[in-house]
A and B are shown apart, each in its own frame.
Chain A
Amino acid sequence: MSRPVLAAWLLLWTAGSVLAQQGEPKPAAQQDARAAHQQLTEALQKAIADWQQAARKAVQEAQAAGKPIPAIAMEPPVKPFVERAQALAEQHAGTDAAVPFLVFVITNANREHDAVRAALKALWADHSAGTAIGPVLAEVTSAYFQHDAQKEVDDLLNAVVEDNDDADTKALALVARGNLRLQTAEDDKARAAAAADIRKVAALTQNAKILQQAKDALFEIENLQVGCTAPDIVAKDTDGVPFKLSDYRGKVVLLDFWGFW
């Protein structure tokens, strides 16, 4: 099962690099940090690309020889980059310039779970009242599952929701917390708590992008839960022939989002 692992890494790594390009214009004092971040991101991209090539080759050779998947397929070479980002975050500790390095650690770590939890704690301690935190909340929330960082993610989201005075930042934290609550909800009460977060967003912000995120989350809460009538799908099949999910009323439908890749 090497291909899913490679594919997952490709996806994660792409997400990280997209984020790296979204930086807001920063004051001159932070130019150095920005350049260092850019350099680190590019170096990691190159290392990952090299690794993917080597891993693919090793997997193919192992398969041809009838041997198990080699260890290299599970070991993207991220550790030195995570350590470098930790050092840079430390160097800029307490300033907004540290945020991209902390995010780098959280989104690129593989097995460096302690580093991820420490980075989340630093975001909580130093940045939960600032405005640099808002745009990165959705992304760092993934550590809740990938790095077993439930407490750290909860602390961060709760602190931003409760203590941040910037309306858009607070709105982004409500969206992130609502989405997380929805993802982890096991009963109606938990889903109601998720909905309560999301419904507060409209009163806080006029930012169209944040409002859309809230709208999408509400759609999930109101239309995609067990007990809801499934939203109709009006689309084309893989041969280009149009059809609808509702064409199948009267039958039980197992709807499967899938791909060979």
Chain B
Amino acid sequence: MIPHERSLVEKWKNRPFALLGVNSDGTDTDEGLAKFREQCKEMGVTWRSFRNESTDPSISDVWRVQGWPTLYFIDHTGVIRHKDVRDEEQMEKVLDEMIVAAEKAAAGK
């Protein structure tokens, strides 16, 4: 999971793409945050995450997440285009199409 995500972030670093997490690792304590940073360093997690419990109800409750990980694919206009695509090849395919559409829209402005 994480190595693949890292490769996506690298692959599309100069394109209109962002990987955003919603993380539930208890980073609201100094101890939790230190451990989280350590693990991010170890696993090469460079992308930004919301802290899941920084809202009440939590983000995962509002989004009715029933299992982890859960993925949402959101286009450049903010519309949900896919959910729960898990296959890595399929993920890259749909994201690539969405990124091309975002670039076309930006060029047309």
**In the assembled complex, how far is the CB of residue B57 from the closest CB belonging to chain A, in whole angstroms?**
9
* Number of cross-chain contacts by CB at 8 Å: 156
What is the interface of chain A mostly: helix, strand, loop, or mixed? mixed
Residues from chain A with Cβ under 8 Å of B98 in the complex: 252
**In the assembled complex, how far is the CB of residue B72 from the closest CB belonging to chain A, in whole angstroms?**
4
B46 lies within 8 A of chain A by Cβ: no
A183 lies within 8 A of chain B by Cβ: yes
Instruction: Tell me, in angstroms, the Cα distance from A252 to B80 when the chains sit together.
Output: 10
Residues 30-49 of B, flagged 1 when their CB comes within 8 A of A and 0 if not, give: 00010010010001000011
Is B18 within 8 A of A257, CB to CB? no
Query: Given A229-B78, A252-B76, A261 and B69 touching (CB < 8 A)?
Result: no
**A residues within 8 Å of B by Cβ?**
183, 216-217, 219-220, 224-231, 233-240, 243, 245-246, 248-261
**B residues within 8 Å of A by Cβ?**
1, 5, 8, 16-25, 27, 33, 36, 39, 43, 48-52, 54-55, 59-60, 62-66, 68-83, 91, 95, 98-99, 102, 106
Q: Can you offer 23 A-B residue contacts whose CB atoms are under 8 A? A: A183-B66, A216-B64, A226-B83, A227-B79, A235-B51, A238-B23, A238-B48, A250-B106, A252-B99, A252-B102, A253-B20, A253-B72, A254-B18, A254-B72, A255-B71, A255-B74, A256-B5, A256-B19, A256-B70, A257-B59, A258-B1, A260-B43, A261-B25
